[in-house]
Amino acid sequence: MIQTIEAVIDEQGKVQLLQNVRLPQVRRALVTILEEKPTVAISETALLSEAALAEDWDRPEEDEAWSYLQSEQ
């Protein structure tokens, strides 16, 4: 099973995981270094599902179905 764990890396390269991890045996890991500083936690599930849901949300049929909620100008 692949897991994504948030971590912070300091200036000396020390990696600090932001949650506890228990594994049945030694595992390999990949580290992706992000450009920005850590911010407020965003739901990983929301980020991973955004592209799939956008396919449905960005259809003209969806715009029409929800158009009654838009304020009139």
Number of domains in the chain: 1
- Nearest-CA neighbor of 23 among 38, 5, 41? 5
Q: Is residue 2 part of a domain?
A: no
Q: Is residue 30 part of a domain?
A: yes
Task: Tell me the pLDDT band of 40, cut-offs 50, 70 and 90.
Answer: low
pTM beyond 0.85: the answer is no
Q: Is-contact 6 16, C-beta < 8 A?
A: no
- For the cut 60, the answer to whether the pLDDT of residue 8 exceeds it is yes
Beta bridge partners of 7: 17
Q: Is residue 39 part of a domain?
A: yes
Q: Is residue 44 part of a domain?
A: yes
Q: Is residue 12 part of a domain?
A: yes
Question: Which range of residues forms the domain containing residue 33?
Answer: 7-68
Q: Give Cβ neighbours of residue 15 (< 8 Å, ≥ 6 apart).
A: 7, 8, 9, 31
- For the cut 90, the answer to whether the pLDDT of residue 39 exceeds it is no
Q: Is residue 43 part of a domain?
A: yes
